[in-house]
Structure 1
Amino acid sequence: MDEKIDDETFFEVSALLLSLNRKTLETFLNLKSFSPLMSTLTDEKVKNIDSLYSLQNSIIKHFDKHSSKNNIHHLHSAFNYLKEESLLDSLSYEKLISLFDPSLLNKKNRSEKESHVYENFHTDKKDILVTIEELKKLFSVSKKLDSIEEYLNSQTFSIGITGVMNAGKSTMLNALMGKEILGTSVVPETANLTVVKYSQTPSAKVLYWNEQEWGSIVKSARSIKAMSRYVSETENYFKDMLDEYILKETRVDDISIESLSEYTSANDKKSNLVKSVQLETSLEFLQEGIEIVDTPGLDDTVIQREQITKEYLSKCDVMLHLMNVSQSATLKDIEFIIDAVLYQNVSKVLIVITRVDMVSKEDVSEVIEYTKSSIARRLYEQNEDAKLDYILQTLHFIALSGKMALLHKTQKSQEAINAGYSLEQTGILEIEDYIKETLFGKKNSRSSLIIHSAKSRLKESINKELEALKYENSLLFKSEDEIDEELNELQTKKVKQQESFELLKQQISGYEVELSNYLTRLQIFLENELKSLQNVLRQRLIDETKYTLQKQKATPELKDIQRIIQSALKHGLMDIIREYRYKFVKKSTEISEIIRLQYDEIDEMKEGSFSAFEHQEIFAESYENGFLTSNYEVLLQRVSKLLGIASMKKLLNVDEELALIIKDEFISIESEIKVKAKTLSKELLNELILTINRPITELQEGLLESENMLNNHIKLLKENVNSKELKSLEIYEKIKNIELILQRYS
């Protein structure tokens, strides 16, 4: 970009491109001057919204790399010009100015320079925990050290295991864990979601569908034949006993691990009522803070299980998708992989080709190439081909013989060796290495962030303890009058600070109410946007139906209806959530900035003690996952059935009925989105309020500690000089040892 265009034009064209969106792009594409102007910036043609997004992304990366104040100033000037010429509305202008904020970019550059690469998460974690134990012997109060220790030990890393039935998920999991816990068979085994965690005391729990969830299943069964059979079969089997399992609140039963297969096997009807299973085991593989989510098959009859699977995947650090080498990639596989990367924000996907001991290496290579070409073809059908490179960069392929790997891991190595498979040749070690590198390697930003955060908190605690020890040492040889004078000053300061804090607490309470009320307004915003999305979806379907009836004398094909529904809903919902996120973060940031300024006016508030504003990025990232989990199969079936009998004469009636179907199916989508957004926002607001209040609590605790220390030293004055010398020496030794420990983190 730098070599191809002069500065002035570059900023103007960049600002224009960044100001475009889905609504305005069409207008600019129709201008004769648009393409020549774009050619001054790039050889790539801006022909649709995806190519625009791609170019906008490149421009943002460019400014991120060259974020000088001068560059940002030029860009801001261009945005101002567009606003003055009414080519950029006020809201879009604010967003763009906020995106290119010089202070935030500089802060980011500083943090990147200061960050460290942690090559081994577990080694760093162990070192910190050892340091904490050393410090506990030197600190007067270890409460803050305990919180850091708890933070480190509570961190878990989730692995999601997906695939169609008979893909070999349970066999691979058993091989990873080194013990045959989950059932394996040539028939479908794991019929529901199983979460496997580490515990020194093995145990298992089953969670059943509640009344609302079962009601949703029954409703879906009216439109989907396979689900209708599932519901009938379940009701006939359980009869009057159904009410014992399906309760208003989810029923949870403790079970023995030995009886686990009764609840997870597709061959046992009891599994029909089980939503998920939680298994805790003492297996070595899980000791590293790993949590495994074993999902039911993607081709599961119960579409609600797919929603639960997506819920868990949105929180997983890595996804392992298994495909049986003899079945190749099904359409369900391809759609699920695309959906996981594009809409569930899964950043790492390992595709495991299973049962490779049944075929040649050439066959495995063919399956991998077929999978890649199938992804490309499906993206092209969905008009998402611009995202192909991004998806393929996210995917990694490994061939596995789960059966042979399990033999090696369960002390039956000779049997596998006789079949021609060493442990290395099974592929299981390669999978283990991939998991560890992905979760704990130097490229994993989350594990690095955990270590960086723990070290920062540890350094802060050490510095505060050193400050307290040095202050205590300075008091040892002061006179009673001098200590009384300090005590009086402290009391005066305490009264003054208390007055300021009481006023600030009242203001914070007021802002808390304001933010809660703002959440209600955001719920109304969601409601209105979702109604607009219904109209967009209805209009696109009617337009497609009208077009095919007029041009082709036929009703729309199922694949076209599916493409329209999926595209409209996924893109539409993502746009709505992005706007919701922007509004929420903007409001939270405004209030935290006001509080920051008020803190700055209070004496004794140390720089950096309040960092709520810096939670902006964390708040924004929290809305990336877990919103697009609904299954649209029922909507698709109902719409396709209606449009299948459409004609030009009936089009008005079809339009009215279509609106009713969409409205009915949107009830659950709207409920799901609103509940998730409200729950997440409340959690984040609680975190913000805690962060805002934390400096008050910390300073009050500090004043109380200083007061207690002064009172204790008044008592020490009555002791002889030798005891004071010994006390001073003890404090000095502590300071020296703590400073030596601090040097490790400098």
Structure 2
Amino acid sequence: MDTDKFLSEIWGALKLFLDPKTQILADERSLAVLLAADAENFDRFMALKEFRDILHALGLKADIYSLQCAQLGAINALKAAKISKSKLLAALEILQTENIISAAHFKRLAAFLRSLGADLTAGNEQEGANFKKSDVFHQKIDALNDICERILSLNPGAHVANAATKARQKAHELEFNVAVTGVINAGKSTLLNALLGKKILGASNVPETVNLTVLKYSPEPFAKINFWSKAELKELGIAKDQDDEIAQIYGDLGVKFESETAQNLNGKFDADGGESKATFKSSSANQICSDQPASKTVKTGEIKLYTSADSKYAKFVKSVELYENLELLKDNVRIIDTPGIDDAVAAREELVRRFMRECDLMVHLMNVSQSATQKDLDFIVSSLQNSHAVKLAVLLTHADVLKEGELNEVAAYAKKSVEERTRELGIGAEFFAVSAKSYFEGGQNSGVEEFKEYLYETLFGPSSQKSRLGIEAYKKELGRVCAQFAADTQSEILKLTGSNLSLSQKLAELNEQKAALASRLEEVRGAVKEELERLDTAKTAASYELGLKSLAQTLKQRVADD
């Protein structure tokens, strides 16, 4: 069952339109409570302060839209292996045990969550287990996430809560870039297919031309085609006097040129219906259009329409971003599959070098039949000098074509050649002999699994400089958040203490006023009593006098009668 169908089932007519890319990261216990809400119990849940506090801690409003966004975000985070499925299910089971949700609702939730794939954080994970042996990064990130969740559970002020949430989000958005280079036909695509566990490169739906391809993670596969800007087309020798042809082709692609003044040179991007359109502005046909290439989002099966050798659009394609739901990419790992370094197009080779400046690990492939060429060595040295990569992995591909003795001889020569050229750079290199063919045929010594373990340890192990810096930055920010929270709390305590002293003084004054009023009240009561007594005496005398008069009149009347 897909996510949209599941949400439609539990919400019915109340199901709202949501951004499918929404992702929420939080403690599994909090997310379990949010996932437990549906159309039947929504009003009951929303009436609880604790439930609203969970939404507020995530920076969300206490309404049905925010709740559904949180549910979708939690599901996407689970798909991306950012949260633990086993912990989520355990928390939901507690809710069912405590009769907070019904057994039927728990069964429906559990069935859906289990359908999303294997749990990557429980103790029995299988997929990817072979190359996650030294995952120090995620262990420490999980510990820091617990601290962050505890801070948010204390209901801090909005400033502290936002800072903690942003720190957590930034840590989870830390990207690890792996650049894969090599001469044409070095076997990059085949090896990457083996590493990814899926034949996606070199297949019918993947670029046939020498385009740079960036592989990224997404729950749902799609592709993004990036086109050269007009200035870059000039550099490639494509623009020249073909402006009408370019305008027509870019118009077919949804990319449009407009003439404006030179001061308005910029690019615009507008997404509509899943497809991207871009507008380039220039004062004339020969001026720079935009620093950013136009882009178009397509299905993976449509890539060939733009990149195949017989496509009229191929020469306008700068790079391809390929989004796939693959295990190796789930931890924000970006793999840059570069064109061959012996590419005859200078602008395309420079594009590769620009990506190299952002890479954390450089993986250079050499065909064992032609390894450690001068072109290989020059490119490795040049790339390492202009990037912040701290490690180099050299892979000798097609290792199956050589006998063991020949392979050892080639490996020794390649190692010696590379180390001699890179010694002054102070960057260590690791060497692997791999055979993607043997891997796909089920061979035991393909070298692919060994390199996969090295790759994951390099990115997330204890020696990973980037993961260490990411953890330190997260830790430092949480420390700052805690200090701010403590300062805010201390300030609040001082305010309360000051208010308490003020209230004590006010209470003392009120007590004095009360005593004075009580004394005054007694005086008034005495005076009233005296007046009442006096009034009673006068009334009695008058009544007696009236009685005597009445008696005298009666006697007088009797005497008269007699």
Q: TM-score interval w.r.t. the shorter chain?
A: 0.5 to 0.7
Amino acid at match of 1:128: L
Q: 1:445 to 1:318 in 2, by over 3 A?
A: same
Q: How does 1:369-448 map to 2 (within 5 A)?
A: 369-372=412-415, 374=417, 388-390=422-424, 394-405=428-439, 407=440, 416-417=441-442, 421-422=443-444, 425-448=445-468
Distance in 1 (alpha carbons) for counterparts of 2:296 and 2:135: 42
Q: Deviations over 1:170-201 (max 9, x none)?
A: 1111222221222259x994511111111223
1:396 to 1:481, Cα distance in 2 relative to 1, 3 A: closer
Quick one: distance in 2 between partners of 1:153 and 1:373?
39
CA contact (8 A) 1:372 1:392 kept: no
Q: What's the offset of the Cα at 1:372?
A: 4.4
**1:497-544 deviation digits (Å, cap 9, x = unpaired):** xxxxxxxxxxxxxxxxxxxxxxxxxxxxxxxxxxxxxxxxxxxxxxxx
Q: Distance in 2 between matches of 1:218 and 1:333?
A: 27
Whole-angstrom CA distance in 1 between matches of 2:342 and 2:502: 79
Provide the TM-score with structure 1 as the length reference: 0.41
TM-score by length of 2: 0.53
Q: 1 CA distance for matches of 2:250 and 2:301?
A: 26
Structure (1/2) with the larger strand percentage: 2
On the 8 A contact 1:183/1:265 being kept in 2, the answer is no
Q: Does structure 1 residue 137 correspond to structure 2 residue 180?
A: no
CA–CA separation in structure 2 for the residues paired with 1:323 and 1:153: 34
Counterpart of 1:325 (choices 355, 368, 383) is 368
Residue 345 of structure 1 and its aligned partner are, at CA, apart by 4.6
Compute the RMSD of aligned alpha carbons: 3.4
Show structure 2 runs of 5+ residues with no match.
1-133, 258-288, 508-562
- Once the two structures are TM-superposed, the CA of residue 449 in structure 1 deviates from its matched residue by 1.5
The residue identity in structure 2 corresponding to 1:171 is T
1:308 aligned to 2:351? yes
For residue 351 of structure 1, give the secondary structure of its aligned residue in structure 2: strand
Q: How far does residue 336 in structure 1 lie from its aligned partner after superposition?
A: 0.6
Aligned pairs for 1:226-305 within 5 A:
241-242=248-249, 244=251, 248-249=289-290, 250-266=293-309, 268=311, 270-305=313-348
C-alpha separation between the residues in 2 aligned to 1:388 and 1:365? Answer: 21
CA 1:239 to 1:440, structure 2 compared with 1: closer, same or farther past 3 Å? closer
Distance 1:459 1:143 in 2: 14
Larger RCO of the pair (alpha carbons < 8 Å, separation 6+):
2
Paired with 2:322 and 2:336, the residues of 1 have a C-alpha distance of 10
Return the alpha-carbon distance in structure 2 between the equivalents of residues 119 and 444 of structure 1: 10
Partner of 1:495: none
Tell me: CA distance 1:484–1:312, structure 2 relative to 1, closer, same or farther (3 Å): farther
Give yes or no for contact 2:392–2:427 (8 Å, CA) kept in 1: no
Q: 1:118-158 CA deviation, whole Å, 9 max, x = no partner?
A: 97011111221232122211032211111111211111000
CA distance in 2, matches of 1:175, 1:395: 22
Contact kept? 1:183, 1:261, Cα under 8 Å: no
Contact 1:161–1:319 (CA under 8 A) maintained in structure 2: yes
The equivalences for 1:335-350 within 5 A come to 335-350=378-393
For residue 403 of structure 1, what is the amino acid of its counterpart? K
User: In 1, distance between residues paired with 2:454 and 2:342?
Assistant: 27
> Does the CA-based 8 Å contact 2:359-2:387 persist in structure 1?
no
Any conservation in 2 of the 1:170–1:184 contact (CA below 8 Å)?
no
Provide the rounded CA distance (Å) in 2 between the counterparts of 1:318 and 1:375: 16
**Counterpart amino acid of residue 164 in structure 2:** L
Q: Quote the residue 2:139 is aligned against.
A: 123
How far apart, in 2, do the equivalents of 1:268 and 1:331 lie? 34
Contact 1:195 1:293 in 2 (8 A): yes
State the one-letter code of the partner of 2:482.
Answer: I
- Mapped to 1, the partners of 2:335 and 2:457 lie a distance apart of 16
Distance 1:448 1:338 in 2: 26
Deviation at 1:393, TM superposition (A): 5.3
Count of aligned pairs = 333
Q: Is the 8 A contact 1:349 1:396 kept in 2?
A: yes
The 1:479/1:316 distance shift into structure 2, 3 A limit, reads closer
Q: What is the percentage of aligned positions where both structures have the same residue?
A: 33
- Name the aligned partner's letter for residue 433 of structure 1: E
Aligned CA distance change for structure 1 residues 188 and 470 (closer, same or farther; 3 Å): closer
Larger radius of gyration: 2
Aligned-residue offset at 1:484: 12
